[in-house]
Chains A and B, each alone.
Chain A
Amino acid sequence: MPGFTALTSSSPDSLVDLATLQLDDARALLEHDAQNGDREAGESATQYLQRVINGLCDLSLKDPLTGLGNRRHFHGALSRAIETVARSGDSVLLLLLDIDHFKSINDTHGHLAGDQVLRALSACLARCVRPVDTVARYGGEEFAVILPHCRPAFGRTVAERIRASVAALAIDIAPLQSISATLSIGGAYAPEWVRSTPELWIERADQQLYRAKTEGRNRVCIEQPRELAVSAEEKGLLFSQLELDELALPDMAPARVNT
Chain B
Amino acid sequence: MIPSLNEVSALARKACTGVGYSWGLSEDASRATATAWAYGFDSITALAELLQAKESGKISGDCPLHLGAHLCDSQPKTPIVFETLTSPELLLFIAADLPKITGKSYRITLKSAVFYATPKDLYQAEDQPNTDVFTLRPAAPKGQRLHPAPRRVASEAAWTTLTRFASRTYAPATESSRQSGAGAGLTDAD
Q: Do A and B come from one complex?
A: no
**Chain B residues within 8 Å of A, Cβ to Cβ:** none
